[in-house]
Amino acid sequence: MTRLAVACDTTLLLYLGRIDRADLLCTLFSPVYVPEAVLLELDMGRLIRRDTIEPRELDWIEIVRVSEALIDRLPSNRLGMGERAVIAYAHAHHIELAGLDDLRARQLAEELDLGVVGILGVLLRAKRAALIPTIRPLVDALIVQGFRIGSDLYQDVLEMAQEGISSC
C-alpha cells in the first residue's frame, strides 16, 4: 500500500484520538505533518478535556513550523490558525493531502489544488485497506464524542463503505 503524506488539522487528531484510532493516520499516511498551531489548539483543548491527544508523544508525528509569511500568502480567508497553517504548509511543500474537515478550509485547499481528506475519508480508506472491519461503530463513536455529521452524509458514508442502513 502506497502511503501519501498528510498535513493534519486539529479536528482529525482530536476526534480520532477521542475514539482511540489516531493510529489509523500513521498506518495510512506517511509522513504525518502537524503544524505547531495545531499543537497549540490541542493544548487549549486539553484545558477542557484532559484526555485530548498529545501529538508530541507520538513518534510518527512530524511537528512543523509554519511561518506567518507563508500563511499570509494564502488568499484572504476567515479560517482558524491551525487550518491556515495546514493549508499553507501543504501548499508550500507540495504535500499530497491536507487533513481537514471544515468546509471552508476544504474549499480553500481545493482552490489551491491540494488533495483533501477528512475523518470520514480516513475511516473509508481504513476500511478499504482492511484495517478496520466496519466504520459504522467508529462513526457512531465520533458522534457520541461531539463530531457533527448530517443524516444524509451518515447514510452516504455507510453506503460508500458498503454498510448500508438496514430497514430491520
Residue boundaries of the structural domains of the chain: 4-121
Is residue 164 pLDDT above 90, yes or no? no
**Please, which pLDDT band fits residue 166 given cuts at 50, 70 and 90?**
low
pLDDT, mean of residues 136-149: 96
Do 100 and 38 contact (CB within 8 A), yes or no?
no
Query: What is the structure's pLDDT at 1?
Result: 62
**Please, which pLDDT band fits residue 9 given cuts at 50, 70 and 90?**
very high
Is residue 56 pLDDT above 70, yes or no? yes
3-state secondary structure of 108: helix
Q: What percent of the chain clears pLDDT 90, i.e. is strictly above it?
A: 96
Beta-sheet strand order (sheet of 97-99) = 61-64, 29-35, 4-8, 97-99, 115-117
Is residue 104 pLDDT above 60, yes or no? yes
User: Where do we find the cell 491536507?
Assistant: 98
Cα–Cα distance measured from residue 4 to residue 32, given in angstroms and rounded to the nearest whole number: 9
Cα 92 versus chain centre, distance: 19
Is residue 2 pLDDT above 80, yes or no? no
Do 88 and 74 contact (CB within 8 A), yes or no?
yes
Q: What is the CA radius of gyration of the chain?
A: 16
Q: Which among 134, 96, 91 has a CA at the least distance from the CA of 112?
A: 91
pLDDT, mean of residues 20-26: 97
3-state secondary structure of 30: strand
Q: Which among 88, 95, 111 has a CA at the least distance from the CA of 38?
A: 88
pLDDT, mean of residues 87-93: 98
**Which CATH class name applies to 4-121?**
alpha beta
pLDDT, mean of residues 27-53: 96
Cα–Cα distance measured from residue 141 to residue 139, given in angstroms and rounded to the nearest whole number: 5
Question: Does pTM surpass 0.85?
Answer: yes
Is residue 143 pLDDT above 60, yes or no? yes
pLDDT, mean of residues 79-93: 97
pLDDT, mean of residues 106-133: 97
Q: Write down the mean pLDDT value for the chain.
A: 95
Q: For residue 65, what is its C-alpha cell?
A: 513550523
pLDDT, mean of residues 138-142: 97
